[in-house]
Amino acid sequence: MPAVAVLFGLAVASVVRGATPPTSGQRPLTLLALVPDGASLEPTAVVVFSLARALTLFVPLVTVVLAAGTLAGEYEAGTLRTLQTLSVSRNAVVVGKFLARSAVVGSVVAAGLGVGALATWVRFGTVDLTGYSVFLVVSVVFALVLTGITVAVSTLVTARSRAVALSLGPFLLVAFLGVDSGLSAWLRTGLLVQPYQLLVAGAHDQLAAVPRLAFRARTTMPNGTDTVEALYLTDEGAFGALLAWPVVLLTLAVRRYRRRDL
Amino acid sequence: MSYTADGHTPAVVADNFTKQFGTVTAVDGLELTVPAGSVYGLLGPNGAGKSTTIDALVGLVQPTEGTIRVLGMDVRASAVDIRRKTGILPDGFTPYEQLTGREHLELAGRANGVDVHTGDVLARVGLTDAADRTAGGYSRGMCQRLGLAMALVGQPDLLVLDEPGAGLDPHGIELLRRIVREERARGATVLLSTHQLAQVEAVCDVVGIVDEGQLVAEDDVETLRRTVGAEATLRIRPTGPLEPAGDLLTDVDGVAEVTVADDALVVRCVDEQRTAGVIAALERSDVALESYEKALPGLEQVFGAYTDER
């Protein structure tokens, strides 16, 4: 775990060091946009914009490294049988393992992004602590969502390597598909990246979520009046879409694990 | 013991217990009753279904058919409560490499909600010197002792030991037998599964022989010996030459065969009762005896008789 934390912190610092606004015509693999509104871009907005893009790849890697072996690794090692000879229920084992891994992954991501805040201050001499804190919290939630999914996969399979493949593969797929403009925005809601970046957009006034901008452009009345925003583009909808995956998968995993022969 | 206020409720009752893994039937309609307060040995060759049965008793595998009640509770509905009152040494016990021996016992104590005097329990299994070393450095025998120590935490009503002698040296085997006897004396029921016949012979009150997923025999060791009706063997050393004595015994009723080995006559009798006639025949003759010894059939023969005939 310390090695993963150090590498993640270095990766975040590296992104902050190279953080620049996208040039015109660039497709930066993100659903976020920087909107200076006539003012100059603030460093925190640029840093959050860059990190939110990088984290869609970094967080899955960190999560899978730290959580894929949760139950599958213990099953392979034989210690899961040892654990289940004690008077703990199978539900408690899965939930307990999920909470423990969440604490580990959440700590690593929070610490790494803490390094990012420090790197921002070192490079730019200023950090919008409020905005950056919102981004940090949203990113930790994103990491915990991926942790829940990874632990669920690890509960359903019997080998760590299979848990790695079956969680990292889909995560990398959604990192790209989740920002694919060829897919409709409501479909992208189920692909994790869009809801995460919708929430990140709330971290700073100079950040905007492209799906929201596109929706408003399509639905604003000729007289300039806004229509009601689609639920899947609201913060509440995004939060619900993120939570749905780990809740559903963990529930399925627990039910399956309760009946499994060890 | 709280679950046997009347002293008659069996510690384990398996009724038509069947377990299938895909198309393989590991246990086929097993009927098993382990009396409270006994040391019950579940004996059988590899693949007979012993470990599957043990695993089902503590909820590690789910029965395909039938019911299992442990300490009066149904294993499907009350697996956690059963494990709280049961000390378990599973087959191939694997410790956590990063935890010390002492931490393993603390873990078991916390899970079972009991205070543990870790030093006392570790001393009981001979692991005092390794108490604060991580289990990753333990030998196979030390791991087995640690698993036994975890099973003893909280003075369980039932001890379930699956191949407890695996990896143990002779001292460890002797220690295991002593602990089993001590636990029985405390009032606990002990169910142990093994293919080591000597283990069963040394400590078990009741033996159940399992083969191809079914209980093929169940009784105390002596009764099983008699049931098999196996032969008894006499090794006789006369003071004089062997040949006249051998000729004499060949015609004695009940003697199946007389051979010579290591300067002694080996007299195979059709059953134990006939050995008295052999000695009486020698005493009636002019053959003087230097010594003789009787060998009764061991569990090997009993085990072989029940598992080979199927």
Q: Is A1 on the interface with B (CB under 8 A)?
A: no
Q: Reduced to 3 states, what is the DSSP secondary structure of residue A89? A: coil
Nearest to B108 among A86, A260, A261 (CB): A86
Which residues of A are less than 8 Å from B80 in CB distance? 87-89
B interface mutation test: which of A76, A83, A85, A88 has the most B CBs within 10 A?
A: A85
Contact A79 B96 (CB under 8 A): yes
Per residue in B114-159, pLDDT (tens digit) is 999 999 999 999 999 999 999 999 999 999 999 999 999 999 999 9
Q: Which of A222, A53, A60 has its CA nearest to residue A135?
A: A53
Among all residues of chain A, which has the CA nearest to that of B92?
A: A78
B8 phi and psi angles, rounded to 5 deg: -115, -15
**pLDDT confidence bin for B5, thresholds 50/70/90:** very low
| Residue ranges of domains in chain B | 2-219, 230-296
Which residues of A are less than 8 Å from B150 in CB distance? 85
**pLDDT confidence bin for B241, thresholds 50/70/90:** confident
Average the pLDDT over B195-205 and give the result: 81
Classify B306 in phi/psi space as left (phi over 0), alpha (psi -120 to 50) or beta.
alpha
More confident residue, B214 or B147: B147
More confident residue, B124 or B170: B124
Q: What pLDDT, on the 0 to 100 scale, is given for residue B309?
A: 56
Strand partners, B260: B265
Question: Which DSSP state fits B128?
Answer: G
The residue length of chain B stands at 310
Residue B218 · residue B227 · CB < 8 Å: no
| Whole-Å CA distances, A96 to A70, A155, A229, A243, B233 | 11, 12, 38, 18, 61
Q: What is the C-alpha to C-alpha distance for residues B90 and A84, in angstroms, rounded to an integer?
A: 10
Q: Which of B135, B142, B50, B131 has its CA nearest to residue B90?
A: B50
Which residues of A are less than 8 Å from B59 in CB distance? 84
The pLDDT mean for chain B works out to 88
For the record, the structure tokens of A241 come out as 């879409």
User: Which CATH superfamily, name and number, covers B2-219?
Assistant: P-loop containing nucleotide triphosphate hydrolases (3.40.50.300)
Helix and strand totals (H; E) in chain B:
11, 14
Nearest to B58 among A77, A85, A259 (CB): A85
Per residue in B10-68, pLDDT (tens digit) is 999 999 999 999 999 999 999 999 999 999 999 888 888 999 999 999 999 999 999 99
Mean pLDDT lowest among A9-23, A169-183, A211-225, B59-73: A211-225
**pLDDT confidence bin for B2, thresholds 50/70/90:** very low
Q: What pLDDT, on the 0 to 100 scale, is given for residue B1?
A: 43
**pLDDT confidence bin for A26, thresholds 50/70/90:** low
Which CATH entry fits the domain spanning B230-296: 3.20.20.210, 3.30.70.980, 3.20.20.240, 3.40.50.12780?
Answer: 3.30.70.980
- Please count the residue pairs, one from chain A and one from chain B, whose beta carbons lie less than 8 angstroms apart: 50
B interface mutation test: which of A82, A89, A95, A256 has the most B CBs within 10 A?
A: A82
Q: Give every strand in the sheet of B289-295, ordered side by side.
A: B255-261, B264-269, B232-238, B289-295
| Whole-Å CA distances, A33 to A27, A164, A185, A204, A231 | 11, 32, 16, 11, 20
**pLDDT confidence bin for A226, thresholds 50/70/90:** low
For the record, the structure tokens of A48 come out as 């959050």
Scan residues 42-101 of A and list those with Cβ closer than 8 Å to B.
77-79, 81-82, 84-89
Nearest to B112 among A79, A87, A89 (CB): A87
Per-residue H/E/C for B28-88: EEEEEEECCCCEEEEECCCCCCHHHHHHHHCCCCCCCEEEEEECCEECCCCHHHHHHCEEE
Q: Is A27 on the interface with B (CB under 8 A)?
A: no
Contact A85 B92 (CB under 8 A): no
Nearest to A82 among B59, B84, B94 (CB): B94
A interface mutation test: which of B20, B78, B83, B160 has the most A CBs within 10 A?
A: B83
